[in-house]
Amino acid sequence: MKKPTFQKTIEAPAQALQFGVEGGQKIAKTMPLTGHAPLKKAKNYWYLLGPGLTTGASDDDPSGIATYSQTGAQYGFGLLWLAAFTFPLMAVIQEMCARIGLVTGRGLAGNIRVHFGRKILYISTLFLFAANTFNIGADIGAMANAVQLLRPSFNFTGLVIGFTLFILLLQIFTPYVKYARYLKWLALVLFAYILSAILAHPDWHTVLHYSIVPHLTFSKDQILLICAILGTTITPYLFFWQTSQEIEEEISAGQTTLASRMGSEPAAMKKMRIDVWSGMFLSNIVMFFIIAACASVLFKHGITNITTAAQAANALRPFAGNATFWLFAIGIMGMGLLAIPVMAAASAYAISETIGKRQGLSHKLKQASAFYGVIIISMFTGLGLNFVGLNPIKALIYSAVLNGIVAPIILVLILLMARNEKVMGEWTNGKISGGLGWFLTAMMAVSGVAAIYALFP
């Protein structure tokens, strides 16, 4: 027997898309927009975007940028097809996470605790925290290096401390509605990479060919790099963040109790799907353009070994000019400001829900001390990694190994919940989404084994 569908009210800005009235409840109400039809459509579309856009954009963090840069530098256009390959896989699983949040009214960790118990969750959240912390440390360092590219006189220590404190203060003391808006606008920084690729003047006929036709050599290095791309594109922190942000949006709209958040309706699901698929498309199209830029410039000139995003920006400068260099460097800083708080908060959501503590950026520090405590510990531990001599590349390898262990486990739990009618009611997985989800789980399991092999050959 299917779980009954509860009707919800979606609060939207005055200029949001009008869905009409369903079941006697107000879904969304808009004021007429002035101007031409294309502008009206663009504004409506922008107001639809939210957690999905932020989640997709945060995936292109400085560590991911470094991985995509290395892909283009080492293999040219040969692996461009991966952007199209990962897009539907990433979108399907993030949509499942968002759907779970909308229907159950709980975050991902809370649902795992309720339906599968705490044992698996304890191990998974511990590994998630460690992986995110390694990644945060590497990304803070990458942001500092990017600033030094533009202003070499700036001190590295001062920069990493400054970035850490700035991000922490924003997360802790900025009201959620304003903070969510800040993250949403910050996602637009990703267009810097699209512009940098255009300014690199690649051969677009070649780009089109390699973006459609897969090219594989099946060498050990290429297989490991493909696994690294999967690991940096489809990571566990995105699962937890996506689900929790759907809850945050509902809380900000006045649905503060679990009962008021349970269930969903077609209008909310439609809005969520547009948001999620748009965010994942942005994430993957940026990966595409970063690979294209580095392939058309670095690979062409024999620069095939890129280890950091800052190194990629610096290597592009002599051949692609100052504009491409500046866009790349600015992108590193902007995406660090977006991705680092997402990773820290994802750990906090997971751990707080695991131990049954209040969580959420909509709460103040005193109201959710455990939640913000995890964020603070994660940020300062990541900061400390920049002073203990840990190579950022090793930090990313450790992160990849831990994500490779956690991702398949969490994916299995997501898929089991998303197909369970007792949990999801009428919003269970279809055959196509379920099949893609299990295929992705198998791919991530292989990626995890490869990452472990890379660390312990």
Q: How many CB atoms within 10 Å of residue 426?
A: 14
d(CA 10, CA 47) in angstroms, rounded, equals 13
User: What integer is the mean pLDDT of 325-338?
Assistant: 89
9 vs 357, residue with greater confidence: 357
256 vs 446, residue with greater confidence: 446
- Of 29-43, 115-129, 291-305, 397-411, the poorest mean pLDDT is in 29-43
Q: How many CB atoms within 10 Å of residue 137?
A: 29
Sign of the torsion angle spanned by Cα atoms 367, 369, 370, 372: positive
In a domain, 176, yes or no: yes
Determine the pLDDT at residue 276: 95
Determine the pLDDT at residue 36: 65
Q: DSSP labels for 59-82?
A: TS-HHHHHHHHHHHHHHTTTTTHH
| φ, ψ dihedrals at 28, nearest 5° | -160, 145
Q: How many CA atoms lie within 13 A of 135 on its CB side?
A: 35
Place of tokens 């299995």: 412
Residue 399, pLDDT > 60, answer yes
How high does pLDDT run on average in the chain?
Answer: 85
User: What integer is the mean pLDDT of 83-100?
Assistant: 94
Under the banding of pLDDT at 50, 70 and 90, the label for residue 11 is very low
Report in angstroms the alpha-carbon separations of 425 from 145, 172, 323, 428: 49, 36, 52, 7
Output the CA angle 213-216-218, nearest 5 degrees.
Answer: 165
In a domain, 421, yes or no: yes
For 247, the domain range is: 61-455
Place of tokens 């866009």: 327
User: What integer is the mean pLDDT of 362-379?
Assistant: 93
Strands (E), 378-427: none
Number of domains in the chain: 1
Tens-digit pLDDT profile for residues 190-203: 888 898 888 888 88
Determine the pLDDT at residue 178: 87
| φ, ψ dihedrals at 27, nearest 5° | -90, -50
Residue 387, pLDDT > 90, answer yes
Determine the pLDDT at residue 454: 65
Determine the pLDDT at residue 457: 60
Under the banding of pLDDT at 50, 70 and 90, the label for residue 320 is confident
Burial level of 431, CB count in 10 A (0-12/13-18/19+)? exposed
Q: What is the amino acid identity at position 82?
A: L
In a domain, 33, yes or no: no
Q: What is the amino acid identity at position 89?
A: L
| φ, ψ dihedrals at 25, nearest 5° | -110, 150
Tens-digit pLDDT profile for residues 154-175: 999 999 999 999 999 999 998 8
Residue 408, pLDDT > 50, answer yes
Residue 218, pLDDT > 80, answer no
Determine the pLDDT at residue 201: 85
* Residue 13, helix vs strand vs coil: coil
Q: What percentage of the chain carries pLDDT values higher than 70?
A: 91
User: What integer is the mean pLDDT of 424-431?
Assistant: 90
d(CA 166, CA 69) in angstroms, rounded, equals 27
Residue 19, pLDDT > 50, answer no
In a domain, 35, yes or no: no
Q: How many CB atoms within 10 Å of residue 40?
A: 14
Q: What is the 3-state secondary structure (H, E, C) of 219-272?
A: CHHHHHHHHHHHHHHCCHHHHHHHHHHHHHHHHHCCCCCHHHHCCCCHHHHHHH
Under the banding of pLDDT at 50, 70 and 90, the label for residue 80 is very high
Residue 347, pLDDT > 90, answer yes
d(CA 452, CA 457) in angstroms, rounded, equals 8
Burial level of 272, CB count in 10 A (0-12/13-18/19+)? buried
In a domain, 227, yes or no: yes
Under the banding of pLDDT at 50, 70 and 90, the label for residue 312 is confident
Determine the pLDDT at residue 25: 35
Residue 444, pLDDT > 80, answer yes
In a domain, 265, yes or no: yes
Task: Find the CATH number of the domain harbouring 70.
Answer: 1.10.4160.10
In a domain, 364, yes or no: yes
Q: What percentage of the chain carries pLDDT values higher than 90?
A: 42
In a domain, 408, yes or no: yes
